[in-house]
Chains A and B, each alone.
Chain A
């Protein structure tokens, strides 16, 4: 059982599924078969990933389900995959969101530039590549997959989006290629470093992290990776591609982009920046933290001023990604555990927000906030789900994002009071951008244009229900995630060589410590 290549299967299943869906005979728009096949493949993938998650040994070795095969000997590149807690959490997120997105996007591929088959095939392809990225334990493999994810998302935006989709798709591509180019330089640089060692060139993460890279070189290589990841995440000031992309893409595409693909950026910061370049990471910390705090506030303030719902959500994500980066670089256990939780929780809450507003936008035929008003009266279920999704985005205690945001702020606070003082303003701004949007769209007298809006149907509710259940469940019981995250955090921090700050007046821990 243990030698079964579960991760390879999880990567290949959606990709095979994509090929099958693409090759299905093209039918009239609205045909159900390609959608059903796509949903089926994504559900089977979910089962496979769930098996990986359930059989992950919390106390076991750091990387599990590893597979290593030589790929390109001259470069020292391997097909090496495996997961630790960090990768596993994102694998689970990808596997949960993909079927949800496919179910929610049932009709979104009907009027696109290409056939319905293409729409769902690209979605599945993206799922497979994303799983590959999060499982990759070889830098070269990671880079190739990282670049490859651009292809499906590019076609999803450019082929199935709004009127300015071409502009948005090209903008997205240019930003990503620029980041990719910088990362490429660093990837090549890594090769140079590893080729100098007696054992010869290697791209294996486990081997590379043992190499002692000189300070100057390490910092340059770090920058290449970091800038690429900052564009992906995205951080201010390299964020402007995201609002345009989210504005033009279909809601499902936006979810795949913001909830899953953008996580590659923050995942990469932990996986590669911290693990390969601990010295450079500590060196860059002050600048990164300042940028992160700016992202938190800038994204939130820009969100308040948006007129278009998807743009607004995109800016909230800029703010949320600021929090994630903050937690990663404060370099303590609660901050990092918070960031990893944040990646998962943000995936859930933003997905719920994009999808439920997507349903609303397609009903009204407009994405502009002033075109709505009084929707609660005609569509109470939609309004209720919108509100819960919104409250999770503003990190209401009791919903899962609260715990992660609190932990990130806590980590920031113990690292440096001043960063926390600014970042905590984000909680007020979040209340403003969410509740203003809710007030303007859902409350007040019902506008005649929305009077005909139908409430959510069974398919739509079933697509959103798993997200809401997880948001509430993990808000009260985050242990399933924290128990796999904690060891990975401990390993990462040990690798970086930092320890948690000690309390000034440690209290006796009576009634406080858990049984472990």
Chain B
């Protein structure tokens, strides 16, 4: 495929699937089948084998993904886009959308991430959910999620993408609310779905604007015609897609659901709310590069959202005592990095995806590690009740430590390579943006060191009767694999491999213009990171951690604890006035519209006698009114006829 001149994005032009690529649909079908079997047969009938089936289907998809990837590697660079139309999904009037799949360099990486990390988390869940009576159903939901996520990244048009988009939303809803006997879990699940639906407005309107502009919703058709569209349309499209991305990826201002989503079982937090689903917004922006490359305004909006969120999430992460919420704040922040990179255009697309992959490794690693700690501590999530766990859960500690080094960006661990690239690209774009990423790196180092110190070091602050023990092998082996990936994920950037690999999809990376040699910037970043670690040591590590959170804290800490008042804002500005509006409308409907109508009705009653009589003798009165109607018909027609 030839790279077009100037700044226009590459055109998607897949060749029909042949050979092993005919198996593309099976990658989705396997977990979908698993989900259907488990959920239709029911929890009781499948409790003996659902966990095995659940793991087997995702592993099967992983094996196919691997084969597909190797085959794609073997193909010529110009021939690495494969399309498969499974069937014609919607044909209505002049609107057509096939159930079409696109396997290219971008979706290939996602397939490996989703099925690879997905398999590990499935296996881990066998142990983690062992004592849950509804484990079979849990695996049904997990399989449903994987099938939907694969649909999201494989769809070759925006309607199929939307199918996956809402499918993962549904799975997320079901899994956040998995323990729905707890009202907090049920509320969190609903909140996640509703906030995501706000984002879906962008997705829906965007898809419609695509059709109205291009007469198609397929990536191939739109990318081919994108150069001819006017800039204003492209700006609207970009902003609508950004709205969608904000919902799914928990970016400001639609970030509030992610912290509550930690109500779900921890493997869910690892798979859906860290490694895969929440990164779908980044995928959407990168996939739609043929839109964003035409609109500087929308790109700037993406960068701003990313920059704000990366700081927002990091600040929240600093103040949380709940280990999962600290990690959730971190996820929000890291996705902010990816979003920011995606907003930089061809200079950042590849790095956004690179960081997305490494983050998928180390954040899954950290979340599963947190789950392992919770397993040891009788499901307590309060880090103030932890301490000195490095000896009690040594495997978890070591793997968690590798994830920790990866996320704060210590060389040679994965996060160092991917975050450093984003910071470089950010400085290359704009000093303020660059500083935001730099400060973010320091805060990340602080809050992650805080988590490390409070959990594994210091004195024991355990609740009475807690006897921590290392998790079983079925849980620790996935941890070890993820730790290895967190350590080695940086290899993807060697020889600029991932940049070259993605160039045919996202366009070639333009030359970077930094005022200083990149090594200088790298060293500055490292210094900032070490400062963050040092601050954590001085404020948390050196002192005894109180078992209850101190109440007398600075305004900043209070604000961070309250998620920077995101929920307070939603409640005050949206929910309470909304409730009042709903109440008002119901009253209006009952008293206003209905009273008017009842009034009209009573004048009818006046004519036909008392209401009582109408009610009791209604058979007769109905017959009369019908007869009256019939007589009217005949009279009217006769009158007209005679006249």
Contact = CB atoms under 8 A, between A and B. Distances in A.
Q: Do A and B come from one complex?
A: yes
B594 A489 contact: no
Contact of A169 (B211, B212, B618, B636): B618
A514 B194 contact: no
B497 interface: no
B503 to A, nearest CB: 22
Most buried by B among A170, A298, A337: A170
A435 B193 contact: yes
A332 B212 CA distance: 12
B632 to A, nearest CB: 7
Contacts of B640: 188, 191-192, 195
Contacts of A332: 93
Interface string B275-315: 00000000000000000000000000000000000000000
A147 B629 contact: yes
Contacts of A184: 629, 632-633, 636
A367 B94 CA distance: 44
A506 interface: yes
Contact of B211 (A74, A241, A503): A503
Interface in A29-66: none
A181 B625 CA distance: 11
Contacts of A170: 601, 614-615, 618
B92 A486 contact: yes
B88 interface: yes
Given A305-B583, A428-B198, A409 B224 contact: no
A424 B43 CA distance: 37
B183 A511 contact: no
Contacts of A438: 190
A220 interface: no
Interface in A291-317: 298, 301-302, 304-306
A506 B167 contact: no
B200 interface: yes
B538 interface: no
Contacts of B190: 435-436, 438-439
A334 B214 contact: no
B480 interface: no
A204 B513 CA distance: 77
B585 A301 contact: yes
Contact of A398 (B166, B197, B204, B221): B166
Given A75-B637, A514-B88, A306 B194 contact: no
B180 A500 contact: no
Interface string B137-161: 0000000000000000000110100
A513 B92 contact: no
Interface string B4-45: 000000000110000000000000000000000001001100
Interface SS of B by simple majority = helix
Nearest to B202: A424
A195, A396, A421 — which one has the most chain B CB atoms within 10 A of its CB?
A: A396
A91 interface: no
Contacts of A169: 618
B170 A427 contact: no
B156 to A, nearest CB: 7
Contacts of A478: 89-90, 92
B94 A427 contact: no
Nearest to A428: B197
A306 B91 contact: no
A187 B214 CA distance: 44
A479 B88 contact: yes
B470 to A, nearest CB: 33
Interface string A115-155: 00000000000000000000000000000000100110010
A397 interface: yes
B527 interface: no
Interface in A419-446: 420-421, 424-425, 427-428, 431-432, 435-436, 438-439, 442-446
A17 B221 CA distance: 55
B134 to A, nearest CB: 9
A458 interface: no
Nearest to B83: A511
Interface stretch (A6-14, A99-107, A281-289, A375-383): A375-383
A338 B91 CA distance: 10
A510 interface: yes
Contacts of B230: 504
Interface stretch (B95-103, B105-113, B434-442, B450-458): B95-103
Interface in B177-214: 177, 180-183, 185-187, 189-190, 193-194, 197-198, 200-201, 204-205, 207-209, 211-214
Contacts of A425: 201
A333 interface: yes
A6 B634 CA distance: 30
B18 to A, nearest CB: 15
- Chain B interface size, as a band, is 35 or more
Interface stretch (A171-179, A208-216, A254-262): A171-179
A424 B201 contact: yes
Contact of A171 (B92, B205, B601): B601
A177 B625 contact: yes
Contacts of B201: 424-425, 427-428
Interface string A153-196: 01000100000001101110111010011001101100110010
B228 interface: yes
A169 B607 CA distance: 18
Nearest to A443: B186
A513 B218 CA distance: 11
Nearest to A332: B93
A485 interface: yes
Nearest to A337: B92
Nearest to A311: B586
A495 interface: no
A181 B85 CA distance: 53
Interface in B587-609: 589, 593-594, 597, 600-601, 604
A336 B93 contact: yes
B214 A506 contact: yes
Interface string B70-93: 000000000000010101111111
Contacts of A477: 87, 89
Contacts of B100: 511
A151 B622 CA distance: 8
Interface in B462-516: none
Contact of B170 (A391, A436, A482): A391
A81 to B, nearest CB: 20
A73 to B, nearest CB: 11
Contacts of A384: 39
Given A175-B597, A509-B221, A514-B91, 15 more contacts: A147-B629, A184-B632, A239-B593, A302-B585, A332-B93, A337-B93, A413-B208, A413-B209, A428-B194, A444-B181, A483-B91, A504-B229, A504-B233, A507-B225, A512-B157
Which are the 3 A-B pairs with shortest beta-carbon distances? A333-B93, A503-B215, A507-B221
18 contacts: A154-B622, A171-B601, A192-B640, A305-B585, A384-B39, A396-B166, A397-B167, A398-B167, A424-B201, A428-B198, A477-B89, A504-B212, A506-B215, A508-B221, A508-B224, A509-B221, A512-B96, A512-B220
Interface of B: 13-14, 39, 42-43, 83, 85, 87-96, 98-100, 156-157, 159, 162-163, 165-167, 170, 173, 177, 180-183, 185-187, 189-190, 193-194, 197-198, 200-201, 204-205, 207-209, 211-216, 218, 220-222, 224-225, 228-230, 233, 581-583, 585-586, 589, 593-594, 597, 600-601, 604, 614-616, 618, 622, 625-626, 629, 632-633, 636-637, 640-641
